[in-house]
Structure 1
Amino acid sequence: MMMQLSDAHNQKNSLFTAMNRFIGAVNNMDQTVMVPSLLRDVPLDEDRELSSMKSDMDEGDMYSYYQLLKSIRTDMEWGVRCATVDDERRQETMMITRMNSTTSTYSSASSSSYEEDEEEEDEDLEKQFQYHLTGLQGVLSKLTQQANSLTKRYKKEIGIGGWGQ
């Protein structure tokens, strides 16, 4: 029984759960906002949770933020789709350079120091993963709150009863 509670707690804090919450909040927002153009020119700064995004955006209205949240959802569901040919070539060049660097480092290093480097690199990768995972979960949580706030604000703007619930 204790193991099940622990598993439920861990699952509650999983990346998949955070992603599903965000996607669900954006889907709810998308279904609620029947006329997105009504969000044009409605400033974000009247809502404390949404106004924090104003500095990160060129346009500070709810419509642009609505579009941004939908775009992030699409990128999460389908992957980032904006890679250009130049970006792909740049990435290939960087990967080849790294491979050549790794190969020359490997051939000049003794096997014992290589194993030590590999262990340090594995530790570093684990730390990097934990750092980015924590950051991603935090960002997804904030985006989920903001999608929910935008939905509530839209309901308020068009006068749907019960918008505060």
Structure 2
Amino acid sequence: MQSVEPKHQKSCLTMALAQYTSAVRNMEHTVMLPSLLRDVTLDEESAMADAKDLYECYLMLKSIRNTVESGLMPLDDWKTKSLHFTKETQNSEITDPEAIFYLHLKGLYSVLNNLTKKSQSLTKRYKDIIGLAN
């Protein structure tokens, strides 16, 4: 049986995951000395809620990539994030499972695209710091 290729591969979940993991791998290969990112302030493009500098942003992007690839989330992170998610969704009035699925799928695409851009931005900033021009 042949698999059917989706018409819009850019909106394919596996493509979005592949682009994100590829961007993080590129970031890891480029950033040879992550410690140079310490105390480098975040710009609007690379700002992340819990990161105070580019080094923390780098670690967070790697951690998310590891979770995406392995499917495993550290137990403490899972408990914290699932508790936060449960509190948010209790206030929601959406009861249709299909609508909930598409709502979360749209959010996942958005998050993956955002994280991909952040990985690419961090890679570019690191190249600027060490004097590598594109």
> What's the counterpart of residue 60 of structure 1?
52
What are the equivalent positions in structure 2 for 1:1-150 lying under 5 Å apart? Answer: 7-9=6-8, 11-44=9-42, 47-51=43-47, 53=48, 56-57=49-50, 59-83=51-75, 124-150=96-122
TM-score by length of 2: 0.78
Give the TM-score normalised by structure 1.
0.64
- 1:154 alignment partner AA: Y
1:144-163 alignment to 2 at 5 Å?
144-162=116-134
SS of structure 2 residue aligned to 1:160: coil
What fraction of aligned residue pairs are identical, expressed as a percent? 46
Q: CA RMSD in A?
A: 1.9
Residues in 2 aligned to 1:31 and 1:131: alpha-carbon distance in whole angstroms: 34
1:65-106 deviation digits (Å, cap 9, x = unpaired): 00000000000011233237xx6xxxxxxxxxxxxxxxxxxx
Q: Which has the larger radius of gyration?
A: 1
Q: Which portions of structure 1, spanning 4 or more consecutive aligned residues, are displaced by more than 6 angstroms?
A: none
Take 1:153 and 1:82, find their aligned partners in 2: how far apart are those partners? 29
Q: What are structure 2's unaligned runs of at least 5 residues?
A: 80-94
Gaps of 5+ in 1: 88-120
Partner SS, residue 49 of structure 1: coil
Q: Which has the higher helix share?
A: 1
